[in-house]
């Protein structure tokens, strides 16, 4: 049996994070959603994304499938119920299929008609799904603690160097190859996980709960508060609080990042800072794309940035700002709160020429020894042409 994580109909509400990746690829806590299911079950885990993203993912083999909505909140009771499903049995609610076990082919799987696949149907209530990007921020503290317990039972930690000042050592995991010297690590407020071959430079101050992914770099004098996730191969510095960086992104210099989610392959120029609270201390309202209404995201929300976007030095980002994919942000004053995909600058709202965008993304990828794949270019071309219509 293999697990197949599918994108439910609420995936579009997770824009811009899901413009270029499946829901299963989203990282919060220590893991991506796909990685978490792999660690928990030990089963092969495949992804069934939106159709235009399918080229990015390995084809699902012929097998018995445990289909699972990738957006489900990680909860022990629901997880146990899902893993105990029998053949041709499913769980669903008013938002569609939650999970089901089947041997039927799934290439034409339709989340809204689960009865075609399952003879035994169980109705569930009060199921929590990731419906909006800012939920990842609000759930990150809890998820970091849950994921730490998973890692604690599966890995051993390096002995921490005596050059560091560490509080509550039992709440710290430092994986093989990580370099941590002359730092302050306070794990009394939550666990601290440091992945393989990460580098935490001198003078860094970490206050849990925090996850720092493999090969990530924390630069000298950085101040990182919980609940923060720094994804693999990211480079970070300055002040960061209650934020998530997916992977391969840089916030390498001074500036404040708070209550924010940054996609993959992004770069925040030196001095870039975001506001996370309105001057009125009032609620921040965001758009629900499915219902086309404004909803409250609470009183604290910084920036949500899609993959491949960048800011110039000293960019000042408004609270509750959404920046699409492949944007080059520069210009005077505070940023607008909504910046479309492929935007070049903020004062004249010019379009980023597609060929230039690809060239510049490849320049950034080459800095880390990689290049854009044909499948990635195809996805970006699809979005670019769709947005022009």
Q: Which pLDDT value is given to residue 114? A: 58
Which CATH number is 133-388 given? Answer: 2.160.10.10
> DSSP readout, 234-286?
-EE-SEEES-EE-SS-EE-SSSEEES-EE-SS-EE-TT-EE--S-TT--PPEE
Measured CA to CA, the distance from residue 369 to residue 351 in angstroms comes to 28
Residue 281 scores a pLDDT above 60? yes
Q: Token pair for residue 109?
A: 């799987």
Q: What is the pLDDT of residues 162-203, one digit of tens each?
A: 999 999 999 999 999 999 999 999 999 999 999 999 999 999
The predicted structure's pLDDT at residue 277: 94
Residue with tokens 């009125």: 280
Task: Quote the CA–CA distance of 195 and 193 in Å, as a whole number.
Answer: 6
Question: Between these two residues, 24 and 119, which has the higher pLDDT value?
Answer: 24
Instruction: Quote the pLDDT of residue 85.
Output: 96
Alpha-helical runs (H) found in 319-373: 354-367
Each residue's pLDDT tens digit, 290-301:
677 888 989 999
Domain extent listing, the chain: 2-123, 133-388
The confidence band for 288, taking pLDDT boundaries of 50, 70 and 90, is: confident
Q: What's the confidence (pLDDT) of residue 8?
A: 83
Nearest to 260 by CA among 229, 286, 291: 229
In this prediction, residue 213 carries a pLDDT of 98
DSSP β-bridge partners for residue 321: 303
The per-residue pLDDT for range 77-121, each reduced to its tens digit, is 999 999 999 999 999 998 889 999 988 776 556 555 656 778 898
Give the pLDDT score at 71.
Answer: 96
> Are 66 and 81 within 8 A, CB to CB?
no
pLDDT category, 360, cuts 50, 70, 90?
Answer: very high
- Give this prediction's pTM: 0.95
Dist. CA 381–CA 389, nearest whole Å? 13
The answer to whether residue 289 scores a pLDDT higher than 80 is: no
Residue 166 CB partners (closer than 8 Å, separation 6+): 160, 172, 184, 185, 187
pLDDT at position 108 is: 57
pLDDT tens for each residue of 338-350: 999 999 999 876 8
SS3 99: strand
């Amino acid at each position: 049996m293999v697990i197949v994580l599918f994108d439910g109909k609420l995936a579009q509400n997770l824009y811009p994070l899901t413009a270029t990746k499946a829901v299963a690829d989203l990282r919060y806590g220590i893991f991506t959603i796909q990685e978490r299911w792999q660690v928990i079950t030990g089963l092969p885990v495949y992804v069934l994304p939106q159709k235009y993203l399918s080229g990015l993912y390995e084809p699902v083999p012929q097998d018995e499938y445990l289909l699972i909505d990738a957006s489900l909140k990680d909860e022990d009771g629901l997880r146990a119920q899902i893993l105990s499903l029998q053949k041709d049995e499913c769980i669903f609610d008013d938002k569609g299929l939650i999970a089901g076990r089947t041997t039927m082919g799934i290439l034409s799987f339709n989340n809204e008609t689960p009865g075609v696949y399952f003879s035994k149907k169980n109705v569930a209530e009060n199921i929590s799904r990731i419906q909006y990007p800012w939920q990842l921020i609000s759930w990150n503290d809890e998820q970091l603690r849950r994921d730490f317990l998973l890692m604690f039972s599966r890995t051993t930690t390096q002995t921490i160097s005596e050059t560091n000042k560490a509080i509550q050592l039992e709440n710290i995991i430092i994986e093989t190859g990580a370099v941590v010297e002359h730092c302050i690590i306070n794990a009394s407020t939550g666990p601290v996980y440091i992945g393989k071959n990460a580098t935490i430079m001198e003078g860094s101050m970490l206050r849990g709960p925090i996850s720092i992914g493999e090969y990530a770099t924390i630069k000298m004098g950085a101040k990182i508060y919980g609940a923060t996730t720094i994804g693999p191969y990211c480079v970070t510095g300055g002040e960061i609080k209650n934020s998530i960086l997916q992977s391969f992104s840089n916030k390498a210099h001074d500036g404040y990042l708070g209550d924010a989610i940054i996609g993959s392959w992004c770069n925040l120029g030196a001095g870039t800072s975001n506001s996370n609270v309105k001057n009125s201390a009032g609620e921040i309202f965001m758009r629900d794309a499915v219902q086309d209404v404004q909803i409250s995201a609470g009183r604290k929300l910084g920036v949500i940035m899609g993959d491949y976007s960048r800011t110039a030095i000293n960019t000042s980002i408004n609270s509750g700002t959404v920046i699409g994919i492949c944007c080059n942000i520069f210009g005077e004053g505070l940023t607008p709160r909504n910046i479309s995909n492929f935007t070049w600058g903020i004062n004249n709202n010019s379009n980023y020429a597609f060929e230039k965008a690809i060239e510049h993304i490849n320049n950034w990828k080459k800095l880390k020894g990689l290049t854009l794949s044909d499948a990635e270019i195809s996805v970006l071309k699809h979005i670019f042409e769709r947005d022009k219509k």
